[in-house]
Every structure is written in C-alpha cells, then in structure tokens.
C-alpha cells in the first residue's frame, strides 16, 4: 500500500509535545477505495464502518490497521451512522438511512436485515448502542438526541443539542462522544447532550462517524481524507489547554 505523509503546518511542533487529550494516535484509509465513513462503531475488538459511497457497504475491520474482517452491502440507500451490540437473539449492527428515515438492524454474520423501524426525526444520523434495551440516536436537522429501544425504536426520552450532530459513541463512564461536522469538533457530552469538553479536527476535514473504546475515539473523516483517525480522549487531560489538538502520528 502506498504511504503518503500529509503535511500540516503545525505538525512538527505539535508532534513533539506531550501525549494527552486530543492527541491523534494513528489513521488508516476507508477499505477498498470506499469513501464517506458516516458511521463508526466499536464492538469486541473490531470496528464497524458504514461508508456512504457506491456500493454502500458496512465493513468490519481491525481497529489498529483497518484490515478487513468482513463486509456486507448495506440495506440503507443513503447511509448515516452505525452501531453494534447484542439485542434480541443475535449480535447485530444498526444503520440509519436518510433516504427513507428508517433504522435497520442487521445480523453481523449474515448481513441480513433482522428488523427495522422508522426514525423518530426527519434527518436520522448517529447511533450508539448502550445495552439490550437502550440506544442513543441523533437527528441532524432537529439537533436532537433520542434515547430509544434498539429493537422497536420506541422513544424513552429526547433532548436538544446546540449544534447539528453527526454520529455518536457511548462511553460507559456516562458520556457520549459526538461528531460535530459543521464546526469540525469532537465533543464529549453528557447523556442529555450538553457539551462538557471538545477538541478541534479542522486540520483533517469533516468528522462524520465516531466510536469510543478505552479512552480512545475513532473518527470517520469525510473529505478530503476519507479515513478513520484514532484520538486519545482521556478526560484527565481535558483541562489542559496546551494539549488540545496534539498530533502524534498521521498517515494514509
């Protein structure tokens, strides 16, 4: 695979700085020439990446290097966020479809649709699995956060963001990690959508998909990179402004 360095004016100075909040650890391109990683999810040592590019595909890849473990054609015609988890009788992943405002549940081995339900809003975007009865969902135009049942789509509660949210990931410590594409930010929010901290990703492009695991987030960057970037997000560093946006490594 051809490796090309990406030149950013401040990389050299930042890379020498201390490891911490917002540090970029590594990256890899979307699989097999696909683009627009609108959804990213982490489960059981693999990433699920939904790419909104013909042929629209949900990929299962190794989180350290992006090598492909499995892939399925997506049931969604205009794919947004994705998530994965165990609900019902099988491990599944879910994808949001902006073309018809539906959310699909898909078997992770078969790739077959297990179930579907209409989204609560008119611009479905992000999905984040919490447990067998709880999933978080964002609506882009409505700037809304919904808490829903992953099998039925029933809405338990809803909250408002003060920005247009893309995909999101659930952190079992009680946080949501939300990609704010328009403002080129990654936001750490509480479970009602209020921003607690953030760091910029404007040097890399439009953040769309996002997944959290073990004090790290994987962010799907659309144009111009069409890549997955992994950042350190240990909250212990969130109060250190000097560490925001540090770069440790960036490659394609």
pLDDT one-digit tens code per residue, 69-106: 999 999 999 999 999 999 988 899 999 999 999 999 99
Find the mean pLDDT for residues 9-37.
71
pLDDT at site 236: 64
pLDDT at site 20: 75
Per-residue pLDDT tens digits for 176-225: 999 999 999 999 999 999 999 999 999 999 999 999 999 999 999 999 99
Q: Which of 10-19, 20-29, 93-102, 187-196 has the lowest mean pLDDT?
A: 10-19
Residue 240 pLDDT grade (very low, low, confident, very high; cuts 50, 70, 90): very low
Tell me the Ramachandran region of residue 126: left when phi exceeds 0, alpha when psi lies from -120 to 50, beta otherwise: beta
pLDDT at site 19: 56
Residue 5 pLDDT grade (very low, low, confident, very high; cuts 50, 70, 90): very low
Distance CA(150)–CA(155), nearest Å, equals: 10
pLDDT at site 99: 97
Q: Is the pLDDT of residue 244 over 90?
A: no
Residues listed for the chain: 252
Find the mean pLDDT for residues 224-251.
63
Average pLDDT of the chain, as a whole number:
88
Domain 35-195+206-219, classified CATH 3.40.50.150, yes or no: no
Residue 119 pLDDT grade (very low, low, confident, very high; cuts 50, 70, 90): very high
In 3D space, the residue among 198, 176, 173 whose CA is nearest the CA of residue 187 turns out to be 198
Distance CA(125)–CA(168), nearest Å, equals: 9
In 3D space, the residue among 66, 19, 42 whose CA is nearest the CA of residue 209 turns out to be 42
Q: Is the pLDDT of residue 147 over 60?
A: yes
């Amino acid at each position: 695979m051809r490796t090309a360095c990406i030149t950013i004016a401040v990389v050299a100075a930042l890379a020498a700085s201390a490891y911490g909040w917002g540090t970029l650890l590594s990256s890899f391109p979307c699989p097999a020439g696909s683009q627009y990683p609108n959804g990213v999810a982490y489960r059981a040592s693999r990433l699920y990446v939904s790419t909104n590019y013909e042929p629209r595909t949900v990929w299962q890849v190794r989180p350290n290097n992006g090598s492909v473990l499995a892939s399925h054609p997506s049931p969604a015609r205009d794919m947004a966020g994705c998530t994965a988890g165990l609900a019902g009788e099988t491990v599944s992943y879910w994808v949001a479809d902006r073309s018809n405002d539906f959310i699909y549940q898909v078997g992770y081995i078969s790739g077959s649709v297990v179930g579907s339900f209409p989204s609560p809003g008119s611009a479905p975007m992000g999905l984040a699995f919490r447990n067998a009865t709880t999933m978080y969902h964002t609506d882009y135009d409505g700037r809304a956060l919904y808490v829903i049942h992953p099998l039925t789509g029933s809405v338990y509660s809803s909250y408002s963001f003060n920005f247009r949210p893309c995909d999101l990931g659930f952190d079992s410590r009680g946080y949501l990690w939300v990609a704010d594409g328009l403002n080129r930010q990654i936001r750490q929010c509480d479970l009602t959508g209020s921003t607690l901290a953030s760091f910029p990703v404007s040097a890399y492009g439009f953040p769309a998909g996002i997944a959290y695991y073990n004090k790290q987030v994987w962010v799907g960057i659309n144009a111009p990179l069409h890549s997955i970037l992994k950042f350190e997000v240990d909250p212990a560093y969130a109060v250190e402004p000097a560490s925001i946006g540090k770069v440790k490594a960036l490659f394609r």
